[in-house]
């Protein structure tokens, strides 16, 4: 039984080390979630500012907001997948939300887990890039994606661009969403006619084109940060479940270790007792009482 106790003690030590790793991963994920949420407020404010500028520019060019023209080629599908492991079915949900279009569209993937999942599904991505590891890399990644989208739709071979990314809901829930990105329908911004009108240095068409590019970058940056926050939320939830399982496992192992230790002590006592009997030892020697003699009479 001594060997059993030592085995349990070793397992308790290894499970405890695993618990430390899980706790560290959970803490890092929680920090990333908090950081991305702070940046999202600024990105949304920037997108709202660009949308307001587009509405003002449309008032200067009433004929600019025509129905968007689309190419005759296949659509482009941009999927934001997980970058690292321990995120559950994060990437699988993104592909499921994209539906059957993943087999017809030009597939662009963000996140290292995306190409692996695509290969497992018999799909091949035309382009892929790692996702961000920190919120500071969101703007640079948005520029890379925008450049790749321009390459795909610049020649008119690709018609529309849609993206699928995951956002965090209230209560730490996750939901994958499919959003149309290009062509940008300027009609949804409306027109805001101010008095006096804003001073501009560009013709309205060029101004709208540049504003549309900035709005696209804002959309991509928000999707990047939303996906980053959602992936780390999924990892945090997975680590929380792992932590709870580790706690239950530790309780079981400690209980079994106490039982094994008690049994080992009992076995040692029994063994020692049996050994002394084999040596002819029946306990301490008996001491005969000394007989008292009657006093001698003089």
**pLDDT tens digits, 125-183:** 889 999 998 989 999 999 999 998 888 777 666 678 899 999 988 766 889 999 988 87
Q: Which residue has the higher pLDDT, 289 or 93?
A: 93
Cis peptide before 183 (omega within 30 of 0): yes
Q: Which CATH number does 50-232 carry?
A: 3.40.1380.10
Q: How far is residue 145 from each of residues 23, 91, 176, 217, measured CA to CA in Å?
A: 34, 19, 19, 9
Concatenating the DSSP letter of every residue in 175-244 gives: EEEEEEEES--GGGG-----SSPPP-SS-HHHHHHHHHHHHHHHHHHHHHHHHHHHHHHHHHHHHHHHHH
Secondary structure letter of residue 80 according to DSSP: E
Q: What mean pLDDT, rounded, does the chain reach?
A: 81
What mean pLDDT comes out for the span 282-293?
58
**Residue 230 near residue 84 (C-beta atoms within 8 A):** no
Q: What pLDDT score does 293 carry? A: 59
| DSSP three-state, residue 164 | strand
Can you state the angle between helices 138-153 and 204-278, rounded to 10 degrees? 120
The C-alpha atoms of residue 154 and residue 64 are separated, in whole angstroms, by: 20
Q: Work out the burial of residue 156: count CB atoms within 10 Å of its CB; fewer than 13 is exposed, 13-18 middle, 19 or more buried.
A: exposed
pLDDT tier at 210, thresholds 50, 70, 90 = confident
Q: What percent of the chain has pLDDT over 70?
A: 80
How far apart CA 298 and CA 287 sit, in angstroms, is 33
Gap between the Cα atoms of 128 and 118, Å rounded: 11
* 241-287 per-position pLDDT tens digit: 888 888 888 888 888 888 888 887 887 788 778 766 655 555 555 55
Q: Is the pTM of this model over 0.85?
A: no
> Where are the strands (E) in 111-169, listed by range?
127-129, 161-168
Report domain extents, the chain. 50-232
Q: What's the confidence (pLDDT) of residue 224?
A: 95
């Amino acid at each position: 039984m001594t060997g059993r106790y030592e085995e349990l003690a070793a397992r308790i030590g290894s499970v405890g080390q695993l618990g430390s790793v899980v706790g560290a991963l959970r803490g890092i994920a929680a920090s990333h979630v908090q950081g991305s949420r702070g940046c999202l407020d600024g990105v949304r404010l920037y997108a709202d500012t660009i949308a307001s500028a587009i509405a003002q520019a449309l008032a200067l060019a009433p004929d600019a907001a025509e129905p968007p023209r689309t190419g005759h080629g296949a659509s482009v599908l941009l999927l934001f997948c997980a970058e690292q492991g321990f995120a559950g079915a994060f990437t699988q949900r993104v592909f499921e939300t994209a539906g059957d279009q993943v087999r017809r569209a030009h597939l662009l993937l963000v996140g290292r887990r995306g190409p692996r999942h695509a290969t497992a599904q018999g799909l091949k991505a035309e382009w892929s890039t790692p996702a961000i590891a920190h919120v500071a890399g969101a703007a640079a990644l948005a520029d890379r994606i925008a450049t790749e989208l321009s390459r795909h739709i610049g020649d008119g071979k690709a018609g529309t661009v849609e993206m699928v990314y995951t956002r965090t809901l209230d209560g730490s829930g996750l939901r994958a969403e499919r959003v149309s990105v290009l062509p940008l329908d300027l009609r949804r911004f409306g027109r805001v006619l101010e008095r006096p009108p804003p001073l501009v240095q560009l013709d309205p068409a060029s101004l709208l084109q540049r504003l549309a590019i900035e709005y696209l970058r804002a959309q991509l940056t928000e999707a990047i940060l939303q996906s980053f926050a959602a992936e780390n939320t999924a990892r945090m939830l997975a680590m929380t479940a792992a932590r709870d399982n580790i706690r239950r496992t530790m309780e079981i192992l400690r209980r079994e270790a106490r039982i094994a230790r008690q049994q080992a002590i009992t076995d040692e006592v029994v063994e020692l007792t049996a050994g002394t009997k084999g040596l002819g030892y029946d306990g301490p020697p008996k001491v005969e009482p000394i007989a008292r003699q009657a006093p001698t009479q003089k």
